[in-house]
Structure 1
Amino acid sequence: MTRREIRSWLMDMDGVLVHEETAIPGADRFLANLRKREAPFLVLTNNSIYTPRDLAARLRASGLDVPEASIWTSALATSSFLESQRPNGSAFVIGEAGLTTALHDAGYTLTERDPDYVVLGETRTYSFERIALAIRLIVNGARFIATNPDPTGPSPDGPLPATGSVAALITRATGVEPYYVGKPNPLMMRSALNAIDAHSETTAMIGDRMDTDIVSGLEAGLETILVLTGISTVESAERYPYRPSRIVDSVADLAALLE
């Protein structure tokens, strides 16, 4: 089906499997075919608000059966990274349950006093007081981590400021740039590969965005497949200096090839 044998699959969630809470046609068949083949797979998302349990429930409501263990978020990648860097450390967190739960599970203590890290994630209600405290903690020496660089997120009323925009505000106030863990950092891909014990040479990354999914897959050494059910189009993809391994209309095309 591709130039090299693909045994494991990583895929973005929004724009690949679902679009605004509605399953993309063929996504259920694609997932069913992966299960039939017993192929390891992970659904990836830069969204750090939700836990894997929350996301599994949301996908189930859309008609897609994805177990918790097959979901990898930027919050999980961030907690995995911090655990490897500074085990049993401490953090001041701006974020929601997806991020705080992941850090707790990694053995981290959440504190407002002299933390090792300030960790910025996605939240629906950014608090000016907590942002101001984050700025003071960073000025006093806390290391600055952000789950992902996305500047905006979607809402029914239009774009909302997201992690990247708030990180820019904190950087402007402190002069300190964050280390971003989520896509397009290939670290997100490598942590996902480790989570399912997969190898880059035999893994494909399916995404709908050239600037996050495809470039991070490319830099991690994966086969990259762009689907046209989300952000990128054939025309916009041509403007980038790198190319996906292949472009397909949707995961329905991949489902047919796996049968």
Structure 2
Amino acid sequence: MSIKSYKLYLIDLDGTIYNGEKKIKYAKEFVDYLNENNVDYLFLTNNSTKQPREVAEHLKKFDIETTQEHVFTSSDATKIYLESKGYKNLYIIGENGLKNTLSIFNHKNTEEDVEAVVVGLDRELTYDKLAIATKAILNGAELIGTNPDTLLPTAHGFVPSNGGQVKYLEYATSTIATFIGKPSRIIMESAIKLFNYSKNQIVMIGDNYDTDIMSGINSGIDTIHVQTGVTSLEDIDKKEKKPTYSIENLNKLVKKRRKNDY
């Protein structure tokens, strides 16, 4: 199957560029080629705990040379969303990556005058934090989840991710959360607006059908499923909405761009 060339590549990380602490073959070659040929790309991650600089630094462990300008997190998209709503006072459940990204807002310690409750992964979550968030939401604050992920892969297996924290608050308050990260259109549209390309010039690359591929489908752009992570080719065959392409690994894209340089 022939794969068209694109002007902007939105690229997932875990399962696409690396698997946990393991390198994925041809990921380095693909990113090197994009860098060498000045092709626009953006790593799109649901991780709210790290800022772009930290993500770029982490990628060096896998021999991926990039800069923070090529990283866009769910925290970054959350900031853009909050600004669009005109919010000033937040109650935040989350770690330093999220709090630092949202430093331009007022961070409240109680439920009073809170306009939005922002929830990212917090590995020091307490009942008191959930109680303040619950009261703020019941007082009218919008409930915002940086991402809906249920599980977080670690070197020692899967552990709970942010989705469970948000679900707790949804259940406690009978309130539906606004999710920012993949597969939401919010993070996708925020990333796309950083560039001046039409949607037919943009593609989303990822291993996870439910987040990466659906985020592209939901946003009306092409998608490339890589068979290096969560979703297998057999799983893809069972889906009603198929990705535009499914490839064994990123080497197929390196070969394609060498053949169709521009």
Q: TM-score range by the shorter chain?
A: over 0.9
Report the equivalent of 2:158. 159
Q: How far apart are residue 241 of structure 1 and its match?
A: 1.5
Query: 1:16 matched to which residue of 2?
Result: 16
Aligned mates of 1:51, 1:97 — CA distance in 2 = 9
User: Contact 1:92 / 1:119 at 8 angstroms: preserved in 2?
Assistant: yes
Alignment match, 1:176: 175
Runs of 4+ in structure 1 off by over 4 angstroms are: 1-5
Structure 2: how far apart are the matches of 1:59 and 1:22?
11
The answer to whether 1:209 aligns with 2:202 is no
> Structure 2: how far apart are the matches of 1:68 and 1:9?
16
Distance (whole Å) between structure 1 residues aligned to residue 233 and residue 160 of structure 2 = 27
- 5+ residue gaps, structure 1: none
Distance 1:2 1:130 in 2: 51
* 8 Å Cα contact 1:21-1:58 kept in structure 2: no
Cα RMSD between the aligned structures?
1.5
TM-score by length of 2: 0.93
Q: How does 1:143-158 map to 2 (within 5 A)?
A: 143-158=142-157
Counterpart residue identity of residue 63, structure 2: G
**Which amino acid in structure 2 is aligned with residue 111 of structure 1?**
K
Give the alignment of 1:24-63 within 5 angstroms.
24-63=24-63
Kept in 2: contact 1:205–1:225 (CA 8 A): yes
Q: How does 1:115-134 map to 2 (within 5 A)?
A: 115-134=114-133
- CA deviation profile, 1:170-225 (whole Å, cap 9, x unmatched): 11111111100111112211111112333311011101011111111012121100
Give the deviation of 1:256 after TM superposition: 2.1
- Percent identity between the two aligned chains: 31
Measure the CA separation in 1 of the matches of 2:157 and 2:80: 32
State how far apart, in whole Å, the 2-side matches of 1:56 and 1:4 are. 28
| Displacement after TM superposition at 1:3 (Å) | 6.1
Which amino acid in the other structure matches residue 108 of structure 1? F
Letter in 2 for 1:96: E
Q: Which moved more, 1:183-192 or 1:150-159?
A: 150-159
In 2 relative to 1, CA 86–248 (structure 1 residues): closer, same or farther, beyond 3 Å? same
Which letter does structure 1 place at the counterpart of 2:223?
T
Scaled by the length of structure 1, what TM-score is found? 0.94
Change (3 A) 1:98 1:150: same
Distance 1:2 1:16 in 2: 20
Alpha-carbon contact 1:23-1:64 (below 8 Å) kept: no
Give ranges in structure 2 of 5+ residues lacking alignment.
none
**1:32-68 CA deviation, whole Å, 9 max, x = no partner?**
1111221110001111010111111110122111200
**Residue identity in the other structure for 2:134:** I
Report how many aligned residue pairs link the two structures. Answer: 256
**Kept in 2: contact 1:41–1:196 (CA 8 A):** no
Q: In structure 1, what is the Cα distance between the partners aligned to 2:8 and 2:201?
A: 6
Give 1:123 deviation, angstroms: 2.1
Task: Give the partner amino acid of 1:19.
Answer: N
